[in-house]
Amino acid sequence: MTDRRGRPLRDLRISITDRCNLRCRYCMPREHFGAAHSYIDRADLLTFEEITRLATQFVSLGVRKIRLTGGEPLLRRGVEDLVRMLARLPGVDLAMTTNGVLLPSMAERLAAAGLRRVTVSLDSLDDAVFRALADTAVPVRRVLDGIDAAARAGLTPVKVNMVVKRGVNDDSVLGMVERFRGTGHIVRFIEFMDVGATNEWRLGEVLPAGEIVRVIDDRYPLEPLGATHPGEVATRYRFRDGSGEIGVIGSVTRPFCGTCTRARLSAEGKVHTCLFSSGGTDLRALLRSGASDVDLRSAVAGLWRARDDRYSDLRGTLPRSEPVEMSYIGG
């Protein structure tokens, strides 16, 4: 099954909460996500049974990789039970993206429940830079402990996501390279993206992927690596001295819509076929009105076949109405 641009459905990102214990400036700026912000009501969240039932339909339509995200997925109570349920789906690679704050105490349980890998977000090793960007009192050490706990639990290779903002944390790029080369962990440098309507995105704050690679290559020579699988978003490079690899995700300057195979399910059950879409299609209503698996499957198939999204290819040329926030859709 392919969409109107010939792209198959291979990946499903499931957001399981829109809440978070950090307030990253590029994602949930506190002035918009303060005490007055209204989050999805508990009763409106998909239950674990509902998530699993929907995920089963996606898998039957070709999904091979499922990633739990949020908000902060580790805030969802009982998340390891959901992991256990999803881990039973045949032929699926199950991963999670987390800010790592709660990983030190949870990594072992998640691995035991069947999680295969984690990606941990960390934007600097410098406490002052990290705390300002994540608007938190949590120290970097805590996230590093989370990464260590994940590695010990076998959730490997651990990927480390760093969003790079020019003039904010670009000085931290080489430090991240130095800390993680030779460890087996893979740092992925991500261009600051214009998701949502609250993060005051400006093109001038994007450090282009090409520049990031140049800065690293000047100090630690790199050579390009091929994609590990079709639809991979990161452009991969390895250190010429054999000390590992990095990736860059250039959604702004190197769009990859042509190979985008990802669907997204929000915590309240809306399917989005693009990170930059607005409304989403409500599958919860269908689920709760007694739809059969066949009905659910054909709703998803219909959505995918009609899909024509390529926001990043067309960036700046399309009108945007009420874009959803990153903390809602999950990245």
Instruction: Identify the burial level of 223 via C-beta atoms within 10 angstroms of its C-beta, where 0-12 means exposed, 13-18 middle and 19 or more buried.
Output: exposed
d(CA 128, CA 170): 14
Size, binding site for ligand SF4 by CB under 6 A? 23
Residues 275-304 close enough to bind ligand SF4 by CB under 6 A: 275-276
User: Could you tell which of ligand SAM, ligand SF4, none binds residue 269, using a CB distance below 5 to 8 A set by kind?
Assistant: none
User: Does residue 311 belong to the site contacting ligand SF4 (CB under 6 A)?
Assistant: yes
Secondary-structure breakdown of the chain: helix, strand, coil percentages, each rounded to the nearest 5: 35, 20, 45
Is the CB of 56 or the CB of 235 nearer to ligand SF4?
235
Rg (CA), the chain: 19
User: Could you tell which of ligand SAM, ligand SF4, none binds residue 312, using a CB distance below 5 to 8 A set by kind?
Assistant: ligand SF4
**DSSP 8-state symbol, 41:** P
Residues 258-277 close enough to bind ligand SF4 by CB under 6 A: 260, 274-276
Question: Measuring CA to CA, which residue among 207, 259, 209, 206 is closest to residue 237?
Answer: 209
User: Does residue 16 belong to the site contacting ligand SF4 (CB under 6 A)?
Assistant: no
CB contact at 8 A, 245 and 222:
no
Question: Measuring CA to CA, which residue among 97, 96, 94, 90 is closest to residue 65?
Answer: 94
Binding residues for ligand SAM, per CB under 6 A? 20, 26-27, 69-70, 72, 97-99, 121, 161, 163, 190, 192-193, 195, 199, 326-327, 330-331
Enumerate residues 6+ apart whose C-beta is below 8 A from 83. 68, 94, 96, 110, 113, 114, 115
User: Does residue 20 belong to the site contacting ligand SF4 (CB under 6 A)?
Assistant: yes
Is the CB of 3 or the CB of 123 nearer to ligand SAM?
123
User: Could you tell which of ligand SAM, ligand SF4, none binds residue 190, using a CB distance below 5 to 8 A set by kind?
Assistant: ligand SAM
Residues that bind ligand SF4 (CB under 6 A): 20, 22-24, 27-28, 70-72, 99, 121, 256-257, 260, 274-276, 309-312, 326-327
